[in-house]
Every structure is written in C-alpha cells, then in structure tokens.
Chains A and B, each alone.
Chain A
C-alpha cells in the first residue's frame, strides 16, 4: 500500500514533519526543560532518550564550584538552547535576564516567564504583555509562557511573540490539561506555533496536547522527577508523535449511542 500523506509513522518526526520556528527546523516537537534533575549525567541520558531538539535553561549566578556545564552538555548533544526568565516577577527583571541570556548563550530566542507569585507560579498577564513588547522591540524571538487564556494568547501574538505557550496546569503539578477547550480555542485562532507548556504529568497528557492541535509540548518535571527519567523521556517522545499523527489522521466524531462496527447482515442463525 502506498501512503502519500506527508505525515506517516515511518518518517515522523525526523524529516517530513519538523517544527519550524523562526526559520529553524526542529526535528522533535518535544521541548524539554532541565529543572529538577538530580544529576547532569542523568539529565543528559533523559534528554537523549526524549529525542528533544530544543531545551530550556535558567540563568543564575556563576559558581566556580559547580562541576560540569549544562550549556556544554547541550552543545555536545547538538540540542539547541532556549534560555528562560524563570524567577522573574517584573518585566524589568525579565528583560535584563533575557539580555544576559542572549549575551551568554548567543541566541535571541527566549522563553519569557513572568510569574505573579511563588505560590501559584502563574503568569502575570500585565507584566507579561509589557515584557513581550519590550523584548520584541529589542529583537528577541519571544516564546511567551502564558495562561490558558485565548484572549491573552492572541494579544501576545499581535505584539510579535514568536510562539505562545499556554499552560496545561500550574508548573510542576502534573495535573495535565485542565481546560482542553481553551487550548483548542487558542490553537484555532493562532497563526504562530502553540506550545503546551507546564502541568504535564505523564505521556497521555502530551498526546492529548498534540491531539488538540498544539505544535509542540514543553515539559521538565514529568521527566526529571520520574522514577526512571530516561524511560519517561522516551515515553514522551512516542506520545508526542502519536498525538501528532492522531491529530493529522482525523479522529471519529463523538456519538451518543453505540455504532456496530460489524455488519448485521449475513449472520449465522441458530434456531
């Protein structure tokens, strides 16, 4: 049988279906975070198993005692680095952190994270909008971590965000996608890539995100704090591919009543 579709199980995700952001082809639609890993070696193994092409890092004070360089690890594995502004509560801090990251890591991509408080870690919409505008004006490619709010997502896109990244649930909770309808609405109106970010607990959550039409999934804790991070990384690799395929394949409509898949005609009769 000849399959002429662009997306098939055999060629996905390596060649035919890359995620293209800012002209860069990313073979994997799984974006990894690095927070929560107990060791650099274990993290490297999990990242490799996940097949990720893009991975986030945080910017913190340099410490000479730290052994091994995370940046070097990513460079060695050919994984593109996406610095974030984790821990920033104001647009001012986020812009300064992004400037430092651009200088340190020689990339103008930034995952913009401006949180409201340490308890919820939820994005502060007002500061987020302000920071997005400032960073776009300074030439950054802004990956905006945002609430699952379709109105805000469109605002960020209109301000020039390169990608919008709505949360499934609060960071680190593993609660999955709490409002799939809003995620679908964001996807249906966006003309920039939509990345489901935060709240992912296990592989099926990532598959669901892709089935809802997201272009990629970003997660960290679900892998780094799993009992077997490398195995979980591989599970997510397959989940993202499965969800992407299912989305492209076109699911059946939901029905209220059962529909027999076997014909009634021609049954044997037992008297």
Chain B
C-alpha cells in the first residue's frame, strides 16, 4: 500500500506497523519497545498524521493507505 513518508510517496506492506517502517528506512532492527536491538541510539521520532507517536507504541500502530508519516532526526542547527 502507499503512504507518504517525509513528503514523498513510499510503499509498505499492507498492515505494516511503524516499527516495520522505521526499521526498513533506518536499517536497524527494532525491539518491541522501539529501541534498536544493536544498542545504538537511533535518535529518530515519528509523527503519524500530524500526531507524535511514542516509540513504545510504534509496534502497536498500524499504517493505512494514504497515511502521512514524518520521520525526523537531529541535524546541525541552532
């Protein structure tokens, strides 16, 4: 199915969770609590249809056709 990720079209498996999406995009496998299993701090956050989703709820949040997802991280600034 098609969603919008960071403003551009993206295809994910039907019924995929936010965990699946974040894992696929960042290349890190994620535990149920949303933390990377390799122990690294991913430093990313997700807004799902303009609502921030805590990482503890990523695996329980299923994506639907047409959803808008923003995946952000820390960059140089300020």
Contacts and interface: CB of A to CB of B under 8 A. Distances in A.
Contacts of A71: 41, 43, 73-74
Given A61-B7, A96-B50, A103-B55, A56 B77 contact: yes
B74 A105 contact: yes
Contact of A62 (B25, B41, B53, B76): B25
B66 interface: no
Given A33-B78, A113-B78, A64 B43 contact: no
Interface string B23-35: 0011100000000
Given A64-B25, A104-B43, A58 B52 contact: no
A113 B52 CA distance: 19
A146 interface: no
Contact of B41 (A58, A75, A86): A75
B74 A57 contact: yes
B43 A69 contact: yes
Nearest to B54: A103
For the side of the interface on A, what is the size category? 35 or more
B74 A58 contact: yes
A143 to B, nearest CB: 10
A33 B27 CA distance: 28
Interface string A58-99: 111110101001111001000001111010000000001001
B45 A101 contact: yes
Interface in B26-78: 26-27, 40-47, 50, 52-55, 70-78
A18 interface: no
Given A61-B73, A71-B41, A104-B72, 5 more contacts: A35-B76, A35-B78, A60-B73, A103-B52, A220-B78
Nearest to A66: B75
B73 to A, nearest CB: 5
A132 interface: no
A111 interface: yes
